[in-house]
A and B are shown apart, each in its own frame.
Chain A
Amino acid sequence: MSESTRKTGTGLLGWTCVPHALVLYLSILCVLFNSCDTVDRSKFRTCEQSGFCKRQRAVKEGYSKYKVDLSSGQVSSSSDKVTFSVVNPDGGHKFVLDVIAYDGVFRVKMNEESPLLPRYEVEHALLPDLKTTPMQVSKGSDSWTLTIGKDDAIAQVFGDPLRIDFFSQRKKVAVFNGRSTLKFEHLRQKPDVNDEPKEGEDSENQVQEPSMWEESFGGNTDSKPRGPESIAADIDFPLTQSLYGLPEHADTLMLKDTTNSDPVRLYNLDVFEYELDNVMALYGAIPYVIAHSPESTVGVLWLNAAETWIDVGVSKGGLVDSIVNLVGGSEENKEGRTRWMSESGIIDTFFFMGPTPADVIRQYGKLTGTTPLPQMWSIGSHQCRWNYNDEDDLLTVDANFDKYDIPYDSIWLDIEYTDGKKYFTWDHHKFPHPVEMIQNISSKGRKLVTILDPHIKRESGYFLHEDATNQDLYVKDKNGKIYEGWCWPGSSSYLDFFDPKVRQYWASLFALDKFPSTLDTYIWNDMNEPSVFNGPEVTMPKDMMHYGNWEHRDVHNLYGLMHIMSTYEGLIQRSENRLRPFILTRSHYVGAQRYAAVWTGDNKADWGHLRASIPMCLSLSISGMSHCGADIGGFFHNPDAELVLRWYQTAAFQPFMRNHAHIETKRREPWLFGDQITALIRSAVQKRYALLPYWYTLFYENEKTGMPPMRPLWLQYPNDINTFPIQDQHMIGDGLLVHPVTDQGATNVQVYLPKGNWYDFYSHKKYEGGTHTLNVGEDSIPVFQRGGSIIPTKQRIRRSAFLMRRDPYTLYVALDENGEASGSLYSDDNESFEYREGHYVLNSIKFKNGRLSSKVVNPNSPFRTPEWVERIVIVGLNKKPSSIEARSKSVGQTSLEFEGDYPIVIRKPGVLITEDWEIEIA
């Protein structure tokens, strides 16, 4: 939900200070210009309106003269870190530069040598106890060369001026401060107005802009007691202009040139009815870019949690030109440029040296963590609405899913279930028996998800508010007074999750005797940017204070991460470390993938937003947040039947699948659009459920390797430049390619298939690589299986994913040009952490030389399951088999029936997934 929906919520009551006339006036404007459907841009800053961004953007190439004193270079005892002294000749201010090495990763850190006050270094985003790696250090006269491994990754540090070139397999892939635009505003005393510039003082200090010590926007004033302290640096990519990342934005997957627009903004905000195709800030911030070229791929993480703007330079013509240039190989336009500007903190950058995109993703995952394997139910279909009104309503919706035979795994309760927006309470009139209600739905393997936001109603007698007041758990202003903002409950205060004591307190609230619920209740953390209706840009003022004496300015983008960390801890404690938590978050930052799934926030019921769900989730996926989805149907407004259907068909092939709607919209449960649409939605959802074993296996691999289940094509086909700009289709794992129908009234789609053989996953029709125009009907979801892959499915679709856990598998084998294929199958108890103790089974399945064989990768696993293989479907065989024989411990040696010329369907092999087996096709 978004703040501006307050119009119907607490708004009119809470905003009595707004002149009545203004409200009327706005509503008239809406009618006259139909302009209330889009974001109110005036509420949000442009770079020009942000003091530090304006100052930093004015910096010209060659501005900075920072000098590394190479002779000061010190190599740590284990050679994993080199430290230099850096000086700015303009004024002589001193800095410290560290270069640290991890496996395949360089970290470049720069801070003032002795700042007036400590400068914030991001906590909690990276994994704890990172393992560094030694470097070979070669000291030259004008530069030092630092090498990881043999010569896989090299960082060459130049002294005058400061510059670092990065080489991956001897190709220069990234340059730090190559354009000399690094500008590090050191902390300083507030000058007296009458002060004369002092002798020898840097020129930076002599410039006084009014925005440096106080800044106002939209009626809010930021007191800025620490003065100017921003940082900025350029990082360029000599090999490519194909840059990706920097979520979250409702924009293209490939980053666009920002020369003639605002820079890309990263500042977690609750944006009402966000616009598509622009770089305005949204709910999440991941300051991470992947620069990809067929030659090499490199990733850059700018670890800073303050407001950050990034300028992107990819030849002026933007996307099309850059592709043309790639094809043409024009040297001069090949370089992609970025320049990163943050309001406070230090420069702390990571260079993930690749060389392949999969390497970069693995390296990023090793530092920031990967998405832990979710519970099986959470990759099923979810049903949400603001709001299901009461127990009866919720149970009726639940029963209707069974009546209409549409599987689903969880039903959600938005804010109205609480007693007056007091979290961890129930409205006892509408929900008098929460535990029985939950048990009723969980008896069919389903879960309940309830919302818990970080703002706390300031109501005396509300236990949480009382505790927070008495135990000092709230965020305070710079004078030590508890901060009060306005959110759903009205006057609210905000828990300071940066304080370990607060996290522990919050975690303790999930105990089943404190919050009446069951272990089948999971959590939705919304509004955690944090959203503050009456705050500057709908969030918390930057001069509020957090634990550790840090300003909100320093930590803003981390707030949501700290919120979900605390919830995660609560869910862990609640089940005594047994069950994997499930949390859905709106706000996110680097590392949030370790705790929560994410959705793209308050989207809209239109076709553009449906299309945008693909690049938005791809961008999040490659940046770690792999359990991603968008509200089916669009949160605001009413979708028509066609849009709902196409959205279901699209979302059925995205990692997180949830129907959700605004309180003012019409009901949109799948059976409300007529029998035909109901049947088509049922079919789309059933397709999702059939593929759950594949998704589950991919999520297991995701935890292990960082590779997201939903992938842009270029991640799988890094050398195929045609794939670089594609954002209307995507891969699921390396085996399926999906091109959902996302245009109104579409009768055909253009699908690009990379080189190789492809098979329509449902009709089995064969396609060669290339562009194909396919006719589509209302039931069409173009999905292609890559020749060479094996996809595990379950074809017995039950009411919920959990109820399918013991059912047998159908394997889809599609052979490549060489008559080979391979795939994996992962299974465990679907819900607990026991898989971390080896209680799982992983099959490696291969087809080669006419023989399909499966090996249990972990044969000593104590995990037991009755799951077996009931059917194998093979496409791509060059001749019809004459006989088929299975061999395994449980079936012995037995000949199998099969039918069909194409595809070949092998009847009931009966082999178990807990054993090795072979099927010989002769």
Chain B
Amino acid sequence: MGFFRNHIAPDVGYNSGPGHNSKSLSFLIISSVLINGFVISADNLTPRGVPLSRAALYDPQKNFSCLDGSKLIPFSFVNDDYCDCKDGSDEPGTSACSRGSFYCLNAGHISAYISSSRVNDGVCDCCDGSDEVGTLTCSNTCEEMGRAAREEAERQTKLAKEGFQKRLEMISKGKSFRKEKEEERTRLDADRQIAESVKNEKLQLKEQVEQPEKEALEKYRLIQEEKQKQEDEQEKAQSENEAETLFNLLDSNGDDKITLDEIKVRQTFDKNKDGVVDEAEAMFFLNMNEEMSKEEFLKSGWLLVKPFFMMEQGMFKPPESGGGQAGSEDYEDDLEKLDDIQNEQQDSAKPDVPGVEPGELEDEEEEEGEEEHDADTDPEPVVDTDPKYDEETQALIDQANKAREEYNEADRNLRESVRKLEEVNELLNLDFGDDDRFAQMHGECYDYEDKEYIYTLCPFKSATQKIRSGGDVNLGKWNAWSGPENDKYTSMLYDRGQSCWNGPQRSAKVGLRCGLDNRLIGVAEPSRCEYQFEFETPASCQKPEASQSHDEL
């Protein structure tokens, strides 16, 4: 980090004042000294702040024409610390014009223009200190800076050269990667065609053997239905009987109604086990009423009562937790309901849950959904719940089951092959940059660690943040190259990451620059939930300039 980029010159007292004697412009020549804004060179008077190449525009023998042609002024108005020209061209050496610029020669380093607003402001901006007239306290740092700049330039050249070499390697690897994948696609496509024909064959076979099986099973189905019907009726009668018995037991005064008092006398109904069947407890069993008719009891009421009788008889065990917990279960149910609502509202209201990523959850749900759907399309294999078929039927069933299994396997094979093909297609559709120079980064992941987090970039896939103490936070999924139009491969965008509390979904931009290795070198979060990654890769190294490579030759 470059501290002390500038330094304030000590107070200059009066020297930078209005220049009262500018009207009697003196051409007294003292070697290498600034007088009234003019640099004295051997044979030429160049106004302060003007490069030699433009000195001809400032001819002391003539009136000065503003460079935008807007005005003609006496030459004595040039660099007299008052702005006459709209374009600022009359004051190249002072701070008088807001739109002017000042030329620093910076011998030993690179010459530069600075804004007039930085002239005589007490800060040394030019390395030769020429922007601060009269102070003479700006030290000339051009030699030093020039050396540093040249060293840096050399370093850059070296980096560019080596980096570009590596870039070429990456390109060649990228190209063979693509070739490989294209070949794989051809292969997989052939596989898919075979799998498809196998599947069709197996389908035909299956259909052939399923028809006789279906006919044979039809008569068994009718028998089974009749049996089921009988069983149901029997069960119903039994229940009614049981209800009647219970009613008679409870209706102690025989008025064909059950009242609160009749419930209260039975310890069985002491839900909270406090020794007393209170009003609330009693009402619960009467559907929150004071009494219940026989009709209602037989219809629904007895179902409330039944478990308590069963418990009494030791036929039924309550859940582990005591009765007092009922409330808290309701509470947790409510929480779950809230969670459900929450999920529906997830875009705006979802809190961060470290380690759980909304996107992933969705994906899982989708996949599950698909599986269920697939299962529906497959005919249900006949399960041997009731192995009372005759031999002939059984043989038909076995034959059909076998055909179905074979079909299912063929179908799975086809799906697998389609999936693989899609995967390869997807990969081949990714934009790995011109010449596929970034392809090599696919499938790799790069880490960067700071005090609190470990960041991981898996190019063309995802960006994540791992909290040292816990789970991963998804910062975004690969979206697209996001550099400027003419240079789009300088930046990547990963978005649709985990949502921030009360905020947007996280996203990460990755800035790419030339380096000798693929390396994640920094991560910042300039705005909440918007991350900035810095990544070095040879793939971003530009071809060294022709002249330089020429030197190398």
Contacts and interface: CB of A to CB of B under 8 A. Distances in A.
Contact of B18 (A444, A445, A804, A908): A908
B4 interface: yes
A443 B122 CA distance: 10
Given A436-B3, A866-B14, A24 B339 contact: yes
B89 interface: no
Contacts of A43: none
Interface residues on A, range: 35 or more
B18 A405 contact: no
Nearest to A12: B351
- Max chain B Cβ within 10 angstroms of own Cβ: one of A21, A390, A395: A21
A24 B346 CA distance: 11
A229 interface: no
B98 A796 contact: yes
B1 A8 contact: no
A439 B4 contact: yes
A808 interface: yes
Contacts of B80: 908
B12 interface: yes
B472 interface: no
Contacts of A796: 95-96, 98, 117
A800 to B, nearest CB: 9
B57 interface: no
A891 B96 contact: no
B348 interface: yes
Contacts of A445: 8, 122-123
Contacts of A891: 20
A30 B524 CA distance: 30
Interface in A222-258: none
A318 to B, nearest CB: 37
B98 A21 contact: no
Interface in B59-115: 80-82, 84, 95-96, 98, 115
B205 interface: no
A803 B122 contact: yes
A517 to B, nearest CB: 15
A31 B524 CA distance: 30
A432 to B, nearest CB: 10
Contacts of A429: 450-451
A405 B82 contact: no
B18 A443 contact: no
B281 interface: no
Interface string A798-815: 110001101110000000
A870 B81 contact: yes
B18 A797 contact: no
A38 B15 CA distance: 58
A666 B530 contact: yes
Interface stretch (B139-147, B413-421, B484-492, B497-505): B497-505
Interface string A420-442: 00000000010001001101100
B6 A443 contact: yes
A448 to B, nearest CB: 14
B527 A665 contact: yes
A388 to B, nearest CB: 9
User: Which residue among A436, A798, A890 has the maximum number of chain B CB atoms within 10 Å of its CB?
Assistant: A798
Given A429-B451, A664-B528, A866 B17 contact: yes
A445 B6 CA distance: 10
Contacts of A804: 121
A601 to B, nearest CB: 20
B115 A405 contact: yes
Given A20-B335, A796-B98, A28 B18 contact: no
A907 interface: yes
Contact of B3 (A390, A437, A663): A437
Given A31-B345, A443-B7, A890 B525 contact: no
Contacts of B84: 907
A444 B6 CA distance: 7
Contact of B5 (A23, A391, A443): A443
B341 interface: yes
Contact of B4 (A440, A667, A808): A440
Contact of B20 (A443, A806, A910): A910
A27 interface: yes
Contacts of A393: 524, 526
B145 to A, nearest CB: 16
Given A8-B501, A393-B524, A870-B18, A806 B12 contact: yes
Contacts of B502: 7-8, 664
A453 B358 CA distance: 38
A389 interface: yes
Contact of A866 (B8, B16, B334, B525): B16
B16 A908 contact: no
Interface in A861-890: 864, 866, 868, 870-871, 890
B466 interface: no
Contact of B527 (A30, A31, A667): A667
A31 B123 contact: no
Contacts of A864: 13-14
A907 B529 CA distance: 55
Tell me which of A390, A437, A806 has the highest count of chain B C-beta atoms within 10 A of its own C-beta: A806
Contacts of B335: 20-21, 24
B118 interface: yes
A393 B525 CA distance: 10
Contact of A21 (B13, B338, B450): B338
A440 B3 contact: yes
A40 interface: no
B526 A389 contact: yes
B503 A664 contact: yes
A391 B2 CA distance: 11
B3 A808 contact: no
Nearest to A865: B14
B342 interface: yes
A575 interface: no
Nearest to A430: B451
B331 interface: yes
B349 interface: yes
Contacts of A803: 121-123
Contacts of A440: 3-5
Given A28-B349, A405-B115, A440-B5, A664 B338 contact: no
Given A8-B501, A433-B3, A907 B12 contact: no
A505 B346 CA distance: 50
A392 interface: yes
Nearest to B338: A24
A853 interface: no
B351 A27 contact: yes
B348 A797 contact: no
A799 B118 contact: yes
A902 interface: no
Nearest to A667: B527
Interface in A628-678: 663-667
A405 B1 CA distance: 22
A806 B6 contact: no
B501 A7 contact: yes
A194 to B, nearest CB: 37
A24 B342 contact: yes
Nearest to A25: B338
Given A27-B349, A28-B349, 15 more contacts: A7-B502, A21-B334, A27-B345, A392-B524, A433-B3, A437-B3, A443-B7, A663-B528, A665-B528, A666-B530, A797-B117, A803-B123, A808-B81, A907-B82, A908-B81
Interface of A: 7-8, 12, 20-21, 23-25, 27-28, 30-31, 389-393, 395, 405, 429, 433, 436-437, 439-440, 443-445, 663-667, 795-799, 803-804, 806-808, 864, 866, 868, 870-871, 890-891, 907-908, 910, 912
Which 3 residue pairs of A and B lie closest in terms of their CB atoms, listed nearest first?
A868-B18, A866-B17, A803-B121
17 contacts: A21-B334, A24-B335, A25-B338, A31-B349, A392-B1, A395-B1, A439-B4, A440-B3, A440-B4, A664-B503, A665-B527, A796-B95, A797-B98, A804-B121, A808-B18, A864-B14, A908-B80
